[in-house]
Amino acid sequence: MNADSFIKGMQRANANRKQRQTKQQANTVTGKPVVVEPSPAVIASPDFDLEAFRLDIIRKAIAKIMINKQRK
């Protein structure tokens, strides 16, 4: 399997999971959506995307493994 396609698939899967979780959290028990507005402090602060950071580490690890396999 190509490492790039694997990473892209993981990113799509995580984006879909994150979107589903957001929708689930926004619904109340009665099923009516709740409007959630972030605080001004959250809007002003730069985001640290933990998922992107984690995927970047996984991508680098897979690339290193693939390079090591080619050398042997």
For residue 51, pLDDT beyond 90? no
Strand-pair partners of 27: 33
Which residues share a beta bridge with 33?
27
**What pLDDT band is residue 39 in, cutting at 50, 70 and 90?**
low
DSSP label at 31? Answer: S
Residue 21, pLDDT score:
79
Q: What is the mean pLDDT of the chain?
A: 76
pLDDT on residue 30 = 52
Separation CA 55–CA 66 (nearest Å):
16
Alpha carbon of residue 58 to chain centroid: 12
Q: Which of 20, 14, 1 is CA-nearest to residue 50?
A: 14
Q: When comparing pLDDT for 14 and 31, which is higher?
A: 14
pLDDT of residue 37: 65
